[in-house]
Amino acid sequence: MFDNVPSDATGYVMAAYIFFLLMVVIYIGILGAKFQRISREISQLTDEVEAGKLGAAAPGEAPEPTREESSV
């Protein structure tokens, strides 16, 4: 009654799955590189802030208060 013969489109379906998997792996790689860069920049900024806090005031002197400008 019905034939259980696979169609010729199985190669296309497999190629589509492989392409999708490849795109997911590339996307994860891009996100990983981005997170590494952000982490590196945060640690660099943290080091700069800590160095600024330690080197700003001489011993025995009170540190000068900093004033931040607001956009309001």
**Which segments of the chain does DSSP mark as H helices, in order?**
10-56
Residue 27 has pLDDT above 90, yes or no: yes
Which tokens belong to 30? 């891009």
Determine the Cα–Cα distance for residues 62 and 68; give it in Å rounded to an integer: 19
Residue 32 located in a structural domain: yes
Average pLDDT (39-68) is: 76
Domain that holds residue 47: 21-51
Residue 58 located in a structural domain: no
Average pLDDT (9-18) is: 89
Average pLDDT (44-69) is: 72
The residue ranking higher by pLDDT, 57 or 20, is 20
Residue 3 has pLDDT above 90, yes or no: no
Which tokens belong to 42? 């945060």
- Residue 21: the pLDDT is 98
Which tokens belong to 68? 């931040």
Query: For the chain, what is the domain count?
Result: 1
Res. 60 pLDDT band, cuts 50 70 90: low
